[in-house]
A and B are shown apart, each in its own frame.
Chain A
Amino acid sequence: MPFSPIILWTDALIYVSLGVVLLLISVIRRRPHLLASWQRVGHSASGMSALTILLFFLCIGLLDTVHFRPALEQQNKPGETVYSVEVLSLLDILVTPLRTQVEKTYSAPLATHLYAKETIELADGQQVRDFARLQYGGAHLQHPDSEHIPDITQRALTGALQGLSIWLLLTVGLILVLSQRTKQSFALTLSALCRGSTEIPWNAILLTLLVMLLLIGCTTALAAHYHVLGTDKVGQDVLYQSLKSIRVALIIGTLTSLIMLPFALLLGIMAGYFQGWIDDVIQYIYTTLNSIPSVLLIAAAVLMMQVFIETHPELFETVAARADIRLLFLCIILGMTSWTGLCRLLRGETLKLRELEYIQAAHAFGISHWRIITRHILPNVMHIVLIATVMDFSGLVLAEAVLSYVGVGVDPSMNSFGTMINAARLEMAREPMVWWALLAAFAFMLALVLSANLFADAVQNALDPRAMTIRRTRLLQWPRKNKPQADKSTVPPTPESSRPT
């Protein structure tokens, strides 16, 4: 076999959570009322654009999750394959040139020469101090001074054109599918798409996709021969580092939420529902936990873990496994310290719900506590849970950056936005400044966190009935041209809903 598959701890957890998400989707598809409110997410233009970007990040993260150890060329004994100690992922294979083309040290984005002067020995034995040519970046150019700019322009344009053609293909395919589904002609569907009168805002999605494909096209075309985002101190490609960081950010965002949720759900609802001494105990726990500075707690726990890893090297086959267990532990610690906010929210909401008359009626039927919690309370607090989780996601990605900056974040061998920022921080002070590492981390994080936030916003709007009314009002104040007739079928709220008591 040319490779041996490796499933790291975080990989396994990602697969499990992916399975759970798929399961949830299939459950929602079978419940019309759940489906209806989730379909409203699909009607938000900003939400769907954000989802497009999120999906791109998610794909990269998933590609980076499939880990394996490639077989080595040289074989000690015939019939026995030896696997490399280096754990690679699918993403690593896809972007192999980025990974392997390592320069000596810093080079600016798209540069052909190093960023610092060094002593070069010429062919005649003479020594000059100059900017050395890069080993890979722009190596194909004979006369970098004159060919550099035209070459970049030409490659970028070719890449953009490729991106555009892929986009056109996708668009035509989409319109064909849509026109088949709605049984309308191609032209009609196209005009509906342009006007933005389709139910799902395909025009916004396609626009986002166009921008993304153009960028990706340019980048892939250039990346083969240049370092698009420059290189870092040891000459590693910054674009590669950024791409690798996405998985870490996603893991910290989702795994931490998953670890936090059971605590928050169980303890919050229990405190609100049972009250009495249970409530007191839970309240004291989270008040105490909240009053300990969380960075302190995390630092202590991570350092303890570090000591454990270093004293038990035999437990970890590869460096990747070591880094991975540290990441997992970081997620657990973050999760253990960040459930208090959601827990308090849920306790308050449950306190309100348990006094509602339908809960009282359930008591009158002698329904068990567990059933009341799962059937009556949990569905009615789910909107809070969803919104809080997605909101926390962006906060946790940022928290990782902060913790890595402090030095208690992920393993230094692991690429993450935090380590990138941490490494770039010292170079900000040097002259001339090395700005690209920081900029790359900033841009990727901004895109990820902003799209997560926008998507959370769309989810919140779709699940909150009041927000729906406001949105409808806004539509009325600035009516779109050629509003589809189908809108008439939506039943306006009956005046009876505003009753005096």
Chain B
Amino acid sequence: MTAVLRIEHLRTQLHTGMTPVRAVDGLSLNIHKGETFALLGESGCGKSMTALSIMRLLPDTGVITSGRICLNGEDLLQLPETSMRNIRGKRISMIFQEPMLSLNPVLTIAEQIQEVLVQHFRLPRDTAQTRIKTLLEQVGIPDAARRMHEYPFQFSGGMKQRAMIAMALAGEPELLIADEPTTALDVTIQAQVLDLMRQIQQHNHMAILLITHDLGVVAGIAQQVAVMYAGEIVEQASRQVFFDHPAHPYSQQLFASLPEKHKRDQALSVIQGTVPSLAQVFSGCRFADRCSQVMAHCHTTPPDWHTIGRDHQVRCHLFAQATWKPLARISSPNGKAATRPVETQNEPPVPLLQIADLKVHFPVRKGFFQQVVGYVKAVDGVSLTIAAGKTLALVGESGCGKTTIGKSILQLIPSTSGNVRFKQQELTTLRRKSLQPIRSQLQIIFQDPYSSLNPRMRVLEILREGMDALNPAPSKQNSENNTKEAEIDALLQRVGLPTEVKWRYPHEFSGGQRQRIAIARALAVNPQLLVCDEPTSALDVSVQAQILNLLKSLQNNLGLAYLFITHNIAVVEYLADEVAVMYLGKIVEHGQIDEVIGNPKHPYTRALLSSVPKVESDASRVTTLVKGDLPSPMAPPQGCHFHPRCPNAMPICREAYPPVSAFSETHTTHCYLYTSEPIT
């Protein structure tokens, strides 16, 4: 079988600093017809640069210094730019990460697809229109004949990515490069898009180069897996082999750092340190500094490829001797660090925060006089209770109102109606001044560590700001400065940073370190409740594990309560005590972690859980896909909000919002499938 794409010793350099960054350093791979080849790696390891090198679309600073890229035997690097244009879109297509940014907002979908057809096939207009319609139907856009003449803003995120795939398919490519195609999408939409890609590949028999950092996506769709680290591939295997017996220490440690349910009572194993800078010249193995099984010659001799099985190659000195036996995925090697304290179930937990029937509506204004023409019901009657020292996870797709709840608890967004009680004190009616004493007990950690720290302030000033504003410890005037500085040192140590960093500016830190600083800032005022708004979703898997460990140990040591807002079910399983599932501004299911994850009742919860790509080698897992997209919260569907997408919808679902059904003292849901009589 000949390879569709053969890359030999590709080297790509980026000239952005004083020393060139070797983004891709001697990469070789083969992709066969009808095969999905997954390139897996953390951010900054050179995955995307590989894709852009294949397309020869590198930024101006990027140069391919050596290597060969052969598409069906033709060396792309020898071609002039004009011939390259006939290959892009025709023989190689690409899907980008952000569907919102990769479609031109002023052209209709049909016009954009037509561009490809005109460029490569010179089709007459009528034929082109029919072809566009077929393509859009193929990617599952309903009512394609009408929707093809709509503009990108009229499409939802998932639909845009479908249209993007249709555009990529228009040239009937031999190779499709998908660069993080589902990273920007919600899990239910991600499942739809992955399913679509799977179908299309079976139908068209093209090769797919899938670039991703998500092990779950790889498990769901890939046939071959290559793990990339610091510009080179360190392990290559078929999916089955890779997920059963990951060989390279890096792959093993990646698996170990994934949050999973059965690791609940342990600390996650973390990969120490960070990805090395690619601007340096490596003398030995690139992973040596972070490897848990490092040997003396790892630092001096670069490892060779070792074939350790059928289709299984690894670049590691451990496999130089033939004595290696396939071992199963390592479980947690340092897993005894943070066992949780013995839970005393008998005494009822003290409610720290109570939210009752909270509503946050944003008025929609139109016209010259800014009349209110409607409301976006971001949060529409939510009641929650968080006990001291516990973690409540709020799960849902983007746009369902999770973040709004978090911000309105802290009174960053005024609520429309309802109550937020913290330690029996009503917060919604308090004025800005009188909120001040409570502010120190409620704090928030944000999603994006790059925008949550003021770039013009040093770490010391960032941490001091909250302390000065709220002054939680009323220390006396004398030597106040010294105590404050000592406190800051203690804080930094608590979040695992050296104390010297307080003199530095945020831009000098990596994403994980910045998130630690953000946590330290919140901790500076000794809060009792932390609202964590997707604190790990912008971070790599290995860094995510570090942050989760930190949050867990802080909870154990300081007795913090968390409201953990996330869409990542694996993190929920690992960290949460209780789960509330949110859909379009309302909680549809609520209960203890085991009750909801183990025995989901609401059809939406079930769909959400089954959409989550599982890190398993078994691809034949049955997933129940949710149809369609999240409706607009401005005009939620009548009756049960979920009924248009629900597989079990009944006539009554269209009429009124279902009442609460309880299964146990803690487990409740809103669905007509269950009797509404509460269990007493």
Contacts and interface: CB of A to CB of B under 8 A. Distances in A.
Interface of A: 33, 356-358, 360-367, 371, 375-376, 379-380, 469, 472-473, 476-477, 487-488, 490-501
B383 interface: no
A308 to B, nearest CB: 40
Which 6 interchain pairs have the tightest Cβ spacing? A492-B17, A495-B44, A357-B452, A357-B446, A365-B466, A379-B456
Contact of B451 (A358, A376, A477): A358
A357 B538 CA distance: 14
A469 B15 CA distance: 10
A495 B451 CA distance: 18
B138 interface: no
Interface string B449-469: 011111111100000011001
B16 interface: yes
A499 B538 contact: yes
B442 interface: yes
A364 B18 contact: no
Interface string B248-283: 000000000000000000000000001101110000
Contact of A375 (B45, B407, B444, B457): B457
A365 B15 contact: no
Interface in B363-421: 407, 410, 412
Interface residues of B, number: 61
Contact of B454 (A380, A473, A497): A380
Contacts of A497: 44
Given A364-B412, A365-B466, A477 B15 contact: yes
B112 interface: no
B372 to A, nearest CB: 14
12 contacts: A33-B458, A363-B412, A375-B457, A473-B60, A492-B16, A496-B510, A498-B44, A499-B43, A499-B540, A500-B48, A500-B97, A501-B537
A58 B510 CA distance: 45
Contacts of B293: none
Contacts of A488: 18-19
A371 B23 CA distance: 43
A492 B439 contact: no
A239 B446 CA distance: 63
Contacts of B452: 356-358, 360-361
B420 to A, nearest CB: 14
Interface of B: 15-21, 23, 43-46, 48, 60-61, 97, 180, 183-184, 213, 274-275, 277-279, 407, 410, 412, 432, 435-436, 439, 442-444, 446-448, 450-458, 465-466, 469-470, 505, 510-511, 518, 521-522, 525, 537-538, 540
A497 B21 CA distance: 13
A366 B43 contact: no
Contacts of A498: 43-44
A367 B465 contact: yes
A361 B523 CA distance: 12
B180 A500 contact: yes
Contacts, number: 124
Contacts of B19: 488, 492
A492 B43 CA distance: 17
Main secondary structure of the interface of B (DSSP, over half): loop
B21 A500 contact: no
A480 to B, nearest CB: 12
A495 B275 contact: yes
B456 A500 contact: no
B282 to A, nearest CB: 14
B538 A501 contact: yes
Contacts of B453: 358
A497 B507 CA distance: 9
Contacts of A491: 17
Given A361-B452, A496-B44, A501-B538, A366 B435 contact: yes
Nearest to B450: A499
B541 to A, nearest CB: 12
A371 B453 CA distance: 16
Contacts of A357: 446-448, 451-452
B98 to A, nearest CB: 9
B307 to A, nearest CB: 30
A357 B506 CA distance: 14
Contacts of B521: 361
Contacts of B183: 500-501
Nearest to B540: A499
Q: Which of A469, A495, A499 gathers most chain B CB within 10 Å?
A: A495
B538 A361 contact: no
A492 B18 contact: yes
Contacts of B412: 360, 363-364
Contacts of B43: 495-496, 498-500
Nearest to A380: B456
A405 to B, nearest CB: 40
Nearest to A379: B456
A496 B436 CA distance: 37
A472 B446 CA distance: 33
A499 B46 CA distance: 11
A367 B60 CA distance: 44
Nearest to A365: B466
Given A361-B521, A496-B510, A356 B18 contact: no
Given A476-B18, A496-B274, A500-B213, A366 B432 contact: yes
A472 B457 CA distance: 26
Given A360-B407, A363-B412, A501-B538, A473 B15 contact: yes
Contacts of B537: 501
A469 B16 contact: yes
A473 B537 CA distance: 32
A33 B522 CA distance: 25
Contacts of B407: 360
Contact of A499 (B15, B61, B432, B511): B511
Nearest to B467: A365
Nearest to A371: B469
A495 B278 contact: yes
A367 B444 CA distance: 14
Given A358-B452, A365-B439, A499-B538, A492 B279 contact: yes
Contact of A494 (B23, B46, B277, B457): B277
Contacts of B447: 357
Contact of A33 (B21, B439, B505, B518): B505
Contacts of A356: 451-452
B17 A493 contact: yes
Contacts of A361: 444, 446, 452, 518, 521-522
Nearest to B537: A501
B18 A365 contact: no
